[in-house]
């Protein structure tokens, strides 16, 4: 029988913490019996992150940007498991109503893919533990019943 795992979604973090870290999410997830937590690992996504990091919206994160957006953890519990939400970008309107285009995703460009992979590894290293590598099947339930 397949193992059923629940993922605590990437929730909005308290004001001023941007994308947060592992420990606060893990504590929240444990209260609702989730086996994993989800950490955002997308590009700079809004003007607020752009101001703080100096990286343009829809661009990959630098190591300096990562240190501004995430909370580092030095003693991560061994049983803490997480996945990275890696949807890098989508077209959207920001909080000022300005239409932002999607990032230029170049999955067939080996150099770009290498930079993207390096960004993901840098996020995991900063968080204090590598992300789990699992294949998840998302099941959406009909809540109208």
Residue 14 confidence (pLDDT):
67
> What is d(CA 73, CA 76) in angstroms, rounded to the nearest whole number?
6
First to last CA, the chain: 27
pLDDT digits over 82-98, tens only?
A: 999 887 677 777 777 87
Predicted local confidence at residue 1, as pLDDT = 56
Who has greater pLDDT, 135 or 58? 58
**Is 16:43 a contact under the CB 8 Å cutoff?**
no
CB atoms near residue 114 (< 10 Å): 10
- What pLDDT shows up at residue 98? 79
Give the C-alpha separation, 85 to 52, whole Å.
21
Give the per-residue pLDDT at 81.
92
Residue 136: pLDDT band by 50, 70, 90 thresholds? Answer: low
What's the pLDDT score for residue 145? 46
- Residue 27 has what pLDDT? 87
Sequence spans of domains, the chain: 7-127
Instruction: Using alpha carbons only, give the angle 109, 104, 138 rounded to the nearest 5 degrees.
Output: 90
Query: pLDDT tens digits for 1-60?
Result: 566 678 888 776 666 678 888 998 898 888 898 889 999 999 998 888 999 999 998 899
DSSP 6-44: -EE--PPPPTT-TTB-HHHHHHHHHTTT-SEEEEE--S-
């Amino acid at each position: 029988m397949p193992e059923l795992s629940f993922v605590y979604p990437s929730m909005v973090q308290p004001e001023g913490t941007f994308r947060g870290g592992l420990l606060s999410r893990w504590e929240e997830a444990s209260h609702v019996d989730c086996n994993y937590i989800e950490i955002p690992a997308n590009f700079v996504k809004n003007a607020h992150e752009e101001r703080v990091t100096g990286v343009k919206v829809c661009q990959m994160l630098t190591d300096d940007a990562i240190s501004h957006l995430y909370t580092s953890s030095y003693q991560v519990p061994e049983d803490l498991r997480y996945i990275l939400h890696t949807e890098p970008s989508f077209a959207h309107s920001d909080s000022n109503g300005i239409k932002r285009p999607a990032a230029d995703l170049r999955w067939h460009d080996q150099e770009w893919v290498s930079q993207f992979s390096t960004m993901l590894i840098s996020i995991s290293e900063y968080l204090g533990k590598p992300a789990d590598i699992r294949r998840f099947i998302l099941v959406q339930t009909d809540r109208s019943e």
